[in-house]
Chains A and B, each alone.
Chain A
Amino acid sequence: MFGGWDAVVLARAQFAFTMSFHIVFPAFSIGLASFLAVLEALWLWTGREVFINLFNYWLKIFAVAFAMGVVSGIVMSYQFGTNWSAFADKTGPVLGPLMAYEVLTAFFLEAGFLGVMLFGLERVGHRLHFIATLMVATGTLISAFWILSANSWMQTPTGYAFNADGQFVAADWLKVIFNPSFPYRLVHMVLAAYLTTALVVGAVGAFHLLRDRHLAGPRVMFSMAMWMATLVAPIQILAGDQHGLDTLEHQPVKIMAMEGHFTSHPDGAPLILFGLPDQAAGKVKYAVEVPKLGSLVLKHSFDAPLAGLDTVPRENWPPVPITFWSFRIMVGMGFLMVGLGLLSLWARWRGTLYEFRLLHMFAVAMAPAGFIAVLAGWITTETGRQPFTVYGLLRTAESVSPLAAPAVASSLIAFVIVYFAVFSAGVIYILRMMAAPPHHGERGPSGITPAGAAGITAAASVAAGGAAR
C-alpha cells in the first residue's frame, strides 16, 4: 500500500491524518464550551426553562465530542517523539515548555472540572456548577493560546539561540511566546472555532425549524447562532486579511504559493481567482485573473511590485497546488458564512427568521462549512511553510525519527483503521442526538447518585453552599 514511500512522507502523512481528525474536535468543543457557559448564564439569570433544556441537550453532545478530542489529542502529544524524534530533541527546550504549560494550565483545568460539569449539577449546586462550566470553557481557550503559540513559533521563530548540541534554546521567553504570527493566528483560530460551532448549532436549529417552526429550543438556538454568523463572519474575514498581511511580511513564500505567484511582478501583481498551478512547469494553467488586484489586496496599491517563486530556490518551494486550492476553499467558505449571516439579518429585519424555509435549508447545508474552512485553513498554513518544520531553520526531512518505513507505515495503517472505526461511530452518535429536538425537561448526562449524597436536591445543596455533608 505504501511500498514506494519513504519514512519522511509516511510520517508526514500520519501527522496530517491524525491532526486533521483531531483538529475537528477541539475546533467544535472550544466554541461549544463557550456556548454552554452562555446558556447556563442565561438560565441562571432569566430562569427560563428553554436555556437549561438547551444546555443539557448540547452538554450531552459536548461530552461525546470532548472524549474524542481527548483521546485523539493524546496521540498528538506522543507523536512528536515517535515519528519526529529529531525535531523533539532539537526543539524540545523551546516548544516543550509551551506544551507543558498547556497541560498544566489548560488540560488539567478542563479535565478537573469536566466531571462536575457533566454529572455534578445536582451535587454541587448551581453556582459551583456554573463555575465548573466556566473553568472548562476557559480551559479550552487557554489550551488554544499555548498550542497556537507553539505552532506560531514554528512558523515565525523569534527569541531563540542555539546551544552546543545544536538544540534551539530560548533567549527570550516573551519573544518565543508572543512571536510575530501568534496574535493573528490565535484570533483567527478562536473566531474560526466560534463560527464552526455557531454553524453546527444553527444547522441543528434550522433542521428542527423546518419540521416545526414553533419549537422553543430550536428557535432560540437558531437565533443565537445566526447572530454569531452575522457579527463574527465579517470580523473573521478582516482578521484573516490581517493574518495574511503578517504572513506576507514573515513568510512571503507561503503567500506566493497561496496566490499562485510563480513569477515576479515588478509593476503590480494580478489576483488569480482560479487556475491549475503546475509545480513542475512553474506556472498556473488556465488562470482566471484580475490584473493588479493582487497587489491591491496585499500591498494596498495597484502598482506595488510583488516577488514570485522565481526568486526562491526550488528546493524551498512549498507544494503550490495544495496551498493554492486549500486557501481558496477556506476563503470560499468564509464568504458563504458572511452570506448566511446577511441573509439571516434580512430575515430578522423582516420578521421571518423562523419561517424563511430557504434560509433554514441554507443553514442546514452550511453545517460542515466551519469544519471545512478550519481544515482548509490549516492545510494552507501547514503546507505553505514546507519544506520546513521550524521555518527557514529546520527542514522537515531533518526532523524525523530514525525509523524504517515499514514501522511508520504499519502505525499509519493502524491509525487509519482505528480512527475510521471509532470516530465514525462517535459522529453517528452525535448526529443521532441532534436528530431529536431539545424538549421540555431535557436531562443532562448526570444521574449518578452515590449513597453519600442521595436525596439532596439542587436547592438544598445550594443552601449548603455545595458542601453538603
Chain B
Amino acid sequence: MTGIIDIATIWAFIIAFAVFVYVVMDGFDLGLGMLFPLFPKKTDRDVIMNSVAPVWDGNETWLVLGGGGMMAAFPLAYAVLMPALYTPVIAMLIGLIFRGVAFEFRGRTQNKQANRWDIAFAGGSLLATLAQGIALGAILQGVHVEGRHYAGGWWDWLTPFSILTGLALVVGYSLLGATWLVLKTEGELRDKAYHLSRFLLFAMLGAIGAVSIATPFLHIQYTQRWFTWPNMILTAPVPIAVAGVTVLLLRSLATKQDSQPFFLSLALFALSYAGLGISMYPYIVPQSITIWQAASPENSQIFMLFGVAVLVPLILGYTAWAYWVFRGKVRPESGYH
C-alpha cells in the first residue's frame, strides 16, 4: 500500500503536524521553565512569565489534540503505546500540572521572597520535558507487542538511548526558550539570553549528532532507511539543511538580530522532526504496527477529516491573532496581577 496517499497517510501527517505544533509551541515555554533557575531576579522572572502567560494554555491544547487525535485515528497505536510509556506519561502529566498552575499561583502567594511556585514551574517543566524526550526514545527503540496489546514490563522504556533522547530534548527546549527570550525581552535579560542561546546551540548540535549516531544501532531498518541508495536522495538533504540553518543561526546570534534566532531554532527542530519521520515511516509503533494496521475504520477518519479541514485553519488563525495581540517586547514595569 506504500506510495498511495490514502486517508490513513493523511491522518498520520495530521497527527504528526499536531505533535509538531505542540513541540514548537509548548517547547519554548517548557524551555523558559527550565531556564528559570538561571534568572534568580524576581523582575526577570516576572517578565519571563508574562511573555507566555496569555498563550501557554493554547500551546498545551495541541498535546491534547495529539493524544486525543491518536486515540481517534489510530486507536490500536494509542492503546499499545500508552501502557508502554506508562511511567514517562504519568511523569509528564504531573510535571505539566505543577508548571501549569504555577502561572496562576505564583502571583497569589503571600511569601513573595521564596516562591515555591517558581520551583514548581522550573521542576515541572524539567520533568515534563525529560519525560517527553524519554517517551520519544522509547518509541524509537520499539516496544514489545503481542496481538493487540502491549506485552512488556513497566520499566522497558528505561534504556541509555531513551535517557539520551530525554536529555537531548531538555537541551532543545532550552534553546527554544532562550531564543524566545531574545525575541521578547530587552536589556540585560536579553543579553544573558544571547549568551545562553549560543551555548545551547552547540549543546543542541551535540545532541542531534549523538541521537543521529545512536539511532541506526537500534534497528537495521533505520540504517537502511538513511544510508542506502536511492533513499539517500531523500535523506541526504536533511543533514545538509541542518548545517545551513546552524550557520544562519550563529550569524543572527553574533549580529544580534532579535527576531531571527527563535525562528531559526524552530527550523532546526523542524529538520530534526523530519528526520524522525523518515526513520519511523510507515510505522506508528516502530517495527510492530504500521499506520494502516493501527488506523480507525475509514468512516471514523473521514468524519474527523471534515472537522480538521475546517477547524484547524480557523484555530491557527485565531491563535495567530492572540499572539499578535500580545506581540512586542515585554517590559518589567508592566506587572502581572
Interface set of A (CB-CB < 8 Å, partner B): 60, 63-64, 66-68, 70-75, 77-78, 80-82, 85-86, 88-97, 99-105, 107-116, 118-120, 123-124, 163, 165, 167, 169-170, 173, 401-404, 406-407, 411, 414-415, 418, 422, 425-426, 429, 432-433, 445, 447-454
B97 touches A75 (CB 8 A): yes
* Partner pick for B65 among A104, A167, A433, A447, CB 8 A cutoff: A104
Cβ contact within 8 Å between B325 and A124: yes
Q: Which residue of chain A is the closest to B327 with respect to CB atoms?
A: A452
Q: Is the CB of B79 within 8 A of A452?
A: no
**Residue on B nearest A403 in the bound complex, by CB:** B83
Q: In the bound complex, how far is the Cα of B68 from the Cα of A107, in angstroms?
A: 12
A–B Cβ pairs within 8 angstroms, 5 of them: A74-B64, A78-B82, A81-B78, A111-B60, A407-B86
Extra contacts, 13 of them, besides A81-B83, A418-B97 (Cβ < 8 A), are A67-B57, A80-B71, A85-B79, A88-B79, A89-B79, A103-B61, A110-B57, A119-B54, A406-B154, A407-B87, A449-B333, A451-B331, A454-B331
Which B303-337 residues have C-beta < 8 A from chain A?
Answer: 303-304, 307-308, 311-312, 315, 318-319, 322, 325-331, 333-337
A82 with B71: CB separation less than 8 A = no
Q: Known interface pairs A402-B151, A414-B94. Does A445 touch B303 (Cβ–Cβ under 8 Å)? A: no
CA distance A165 to B292 in the complex (A): 13
Taking Cβ atoms with an 8 Å cutoff, the residues of B that contact A are 50, 53-55, 57-58, 60-61, 63-65, 67-69, 71-73, 75-76, 78-83, 86-87, 89-90, 93-94, 96-98, 100-101, 103-105, 108-109, 148-151, 153-154, 184, 186, 296-297, 299-300, 303-304, 307-308, 311-312, 315, 318-319, 322, 325-331, 333-337
Complex CA gap A165/B76 in Å reads 10
Question: Which one of A68, A108, A167, A402 contacts B101 once the chains associate, using CB atoms below 8 Å?
Answer: A68
Interface of A is mostly: helix
Q: How far is the CA of A337 from the CA of B86 in the complex (A)?
A: 43
Neighbouring B residues of A120 by C-beta, 8 Å = 54, 325-326
Cα distance A52–B82 when bound, in Å?
46
Ranked nearest first, the 5 interchain pairs of A and B with the lowest CB-CB distance are A92-B75, A96-B72, A81-B82, A452-B328, A115-B54
Distance from A104 Cβ to chain B, minimum over Cβ atoms (Å): 4
Question: CA separation between A81 and B83, bound complex, in Å?
Answer: 7
Task: Name the B residues within 8 Å of A118 (CB-CB).
Answer: 53-54
Q: Which residues of A contact B90 (CB under 8 A)?
A: 82, 411, 414-415
B54 contacts A116, CB within 8 Å?
Answer: yes
Instruction: Return chain A residues, CB-CB under 8 Å to B315.
Output: 104, 108, 112
Whole-angstrom distance between the Cβ of B336 and the nearest chain A Cβ: 6
For A107, the closest partner residue in chain B by CB is B61
Are A112 and B68 closer than 8 Å at their CB atoms? Answer: no
Provided the pairs A78-B89, A448-B50, A448-B334 are in contact, do residues A70 and B325 lie with their beta carbons within 8 angstroms?
no
How far does the alpha carbon of A283 sit from the alpha carbon of B264 in the complex, in Å?
71
Q: Which of A114, A404, A448, A454 has a CB less than 8 Å from the CB of B57?
A: A114
